[in-house]
Amino acid sequence: MGKEDSFEEIKFPYLQLAILIIGTFMAVLDNSIVNVAIPKMETALNSNTNQIQWVITAYMLVSGITIPMTSWLSDKFGSKQLFTYSLIFFTIGSTLCGMAWNLPSMILFRIIQALGGGFLMPLANTLLYKIFPPEKRGGVMGIFGLAVMLAPAFGPLLSGYFVQYASWRLIFYMNLPLGVVGAFLSIFVLHDFNDKSASKLDGWGLALSSIGLFSLLYGFTNVSSNGWHSTLVYPYLIAGALLLIILVVVELKVDKPLIQFRVLQDYLLSMSVVITSLVQRTMFVSLFLLPLYFENILEYTPEKTGIFMTPAALISAVFMVAGGLLLNRVGARLLAVVGLTITLITTYGFSFLDVNTPSSHLQVLYIFRTIGVSLALMPVMAAGMNRLSNDLISQASGLSNTIRQVASSLGTAIFTYYEAHRTLIHESEMASQYNPGSPKGVQLNGLELNLMQHGMSAAQAHVTALETIIGIIDQNSFVAAINDTFMVGTILTAISLILTFFFNDKKYSKEREGSHITMME
C-alpha cells in the first residue's frame, strides 16, 4: 500500500470531483430512469409484464452482489483503475442495452451494465475521501450529494420525455457521451494513489456474500408481487439471512477478509450507517409514493411528474452544499437534527392527502421535505467516514454501501407491500359502506335514478353507477393507503431524529483529535 498523498500533491482535485460526480450520477440515474420506460420496452421486446421486470431485477441483483467486492478489487487493480474500468463497463453495457433486440439480450446487457454500475458509488466515495482531507470533505460531500439527489428527480423527467417524444432506447444511449467523457478524464486526470496491494482472495467471503446477498435481494424483490408467504420470498429471505450471518462469523476470523466488518467497531461510522440507511428509506417514501399519486389521482404524465419534482431537486442542491460547508463549523449532529425535524414535520403533513389536495400544497411540502433530507444526509455520512485512514476507506465504503443496498431493498419490499395491503383493507371497508339502506347505499340508488332520468335503462344505470362508485372507492382507498405509508415514513424519520442525539461527532472528534482509525486488530 502506498503512502497517503497530501492534498497539495493532487492536481485538479475539483475536476476529479466532477469526474466522480459524472460516474455516480449515471449509476444513480439508471435506477430511476428505466422504470418509466418499462411498458414501451415490454412491447418492443415482445415480452410480458412478469418477464420485463427482469430488466430491473437483474441489474439490482448483480450490482448488489458486486458492491462487497469493491475493496478487494481496489487493492488488486488500484482504486483509480477500477473506477475507470467500471465506468467503461457501464458505458458499454448502456450502449448495448440501447441496441437490444429481444428480452434475453436486454437482460444480458443489463448484467454487463451492472458489473460496472455496482462499483461506481462505493469507488467514488473511496476516492473522494482519499483526494480531500477531513477539513474539506463537508463541502465536497455536499457537492457530491447533488448526484444522489438530482438523479432520482431527473430520471422520470428524461425518461418520460424520451418515451413520449422519441425512443426508449435513448435512456441508454444518453450514457454514451457522458461515459466516454468521464472515462477519458478518469484515465488522464484522476489521481493514481498507487494503492495496489497483493492480497489473496477470500473465497469463502466471496461465496457467502454473493449467494447470501443474491438470495436476500431476490426475496425482497418478489415481495410486492407475491407477498411475504410466497415460496419465491421466504425461503430466499431465510437462506440469505442465514448465509449472511455465517458470513459475519467467518469474516471476523479471517486475517484479510473480503468484507472488513471490524470497521463497524468505530462508533461514529456504525451510527452513520444506521442513520443514513433510515434517512434514505424515508427519502424513498416520497420518491415512490408521490409519482403514483400524481399519475393515478392527478393523472400526470411521467414527464409532468418529473417537472413537478425538479424545483425541489434544484433547491435541495443549494442546501446540500450549504450543509456540507457548515459541517466543520457546527457539526453533523446539529445539521441532522434541524434537517430531520423538517423532514419529520413534512412527512407527517403528507399523511393527510385526499383526492383533491392542491398541487401547490404538495409542492411546498415536497420542497421543504427535500431540504430537510439534504441538510441531514451528507453531513452524517461524511462525519462517519472522516476519521478513517486511507487503508480502511475502501472497506468502510464498500460495507456501508452494501448495508444501505440491503436496507433499500428491505424498505422497498416493506413499503410496496404495505401500501398494496392497506389499499385492499381500505377498499373492503369503503365497499362495505354501500349496503342497501345505508347512507352510501342510498347515494348509490340516487345515482342510478339520476342516470335513468337522463335516458338510461335500469340495467345500464345500475352498471354505470357501480362503475362510478368503484372508481371513487379505488381512488380514495389508494390515497388512504398512501397516507398510511407516509405515517410509517414519519415513524422512521422520528427514529432517525432520536438517533442523531447520540451522534455527537464534535465531542467524539475532539476526544481523538489528530488521530485516525487504522486497520483494526
Give dist(CA 148, CA 447) in Å, integer: 50
What pTM was estimated for this model as a whole? 0.83
> Same domain for 269 and 366?
yes
- Alpha carbon of 225 to those of 57, 234, 366, 425, 435: distances in Å? 13, 13, 28, 17, 31
Query: Which domain does 122 fall in, by range?
Result: 1-199
Cell numbers that stand for 290 in this block: 408521490
> Same domain for 10 and 134?
yes
Quote the pLDDT of residue 342.
96
Say whether 388 sits in a helix, a strand or coil: strand
Quote the pLDDT of residue 513.
45
Give dist(CA 277, CA 274) in Å, integer: 5
> Same domain for 375 and 487?
yes
Quote the pLDDT of residue 372.
93
CB of 149 closer than 8 Å to CB of 320: yes
> Same domain for 323 and 401?
yes
Helix/strand/coil (H, E, C) string of 93-135? HHHHHHHCCCHHHHHHHHHHHHHHHHHHHHHHHHHHHHHCCHH
Quote the pLDDT of residue 512.
46
Instruction: Give the pLDDT means over successive 10-residue stretches in the chain (521 positions).
Output: 64 90 88 78 82 83 87 88 94 94 92 91 88 83 78 77 86 92 93 79 90 89 82 92 93 86 87 89 78 83 78 84 84 92 95 91 92 88 78 80 81 83 90 77 78 79 81 89 93 94 68 48 43
- Total domain count for the chain? 3
Residue finishing a domain among 222, 257, 292: 257
**Largest CA-CA distance found in the chain, in angstroms, rounded:** 87
Residue finishing a domain among 178, 199, 220: 199
CB of 62 closer than 8 Å to CB of 115: yes
Quote the pLDDT of residue 330.
86
Quote the pLDDT of residue 15.
92
> Same domain for 115 and 216?
no
Q: Side-chain half-sphere of 131: how many Cα atoms within 13 Å?
A: 27
Please give the single-letter amino acid code of residue 373. V
Find residue 517's DSSP bridge partners.
388
Angle ∠(272,403,65) on CA atoms, nearest 5? 150
CB of 472 closer than 8 Å to CB of 355: no
Quote the pLDDT of residue 464.
83
> Same domain for 353 and 387?
yes
> Same domain for 169 and 208?
no
> Same domain for 306 and 229?
no
> Same domain for 236 and 327?
no
Q: Which of 69, 78, 76 is nearest to 193 (CA)?
A: 78
> Same domain for 218 and 134?
no
Quote the pLDDT of residue 465.
80
Give dist(CA 476, CA 482) in Å, integer: 10
Q: Which of 127, 116, 100, 134 is nearest to 66 (CA)?
A: 116
CB of 415 closer than 8 Å to CB of 288: yes
Q: Which of 91, 85, 131 is nearest to 109 (CA)?
A: 91
Cβ burial, residue 138 (10 Å; 0-12/13-18/19+): buried
Q: Which of 202, 208, 206, 203 is nearest to 247 (CA)?
A: 208
CATH for 351: 1.20.1250.20
Residue finishing a domain among 239, 257, 275: 257
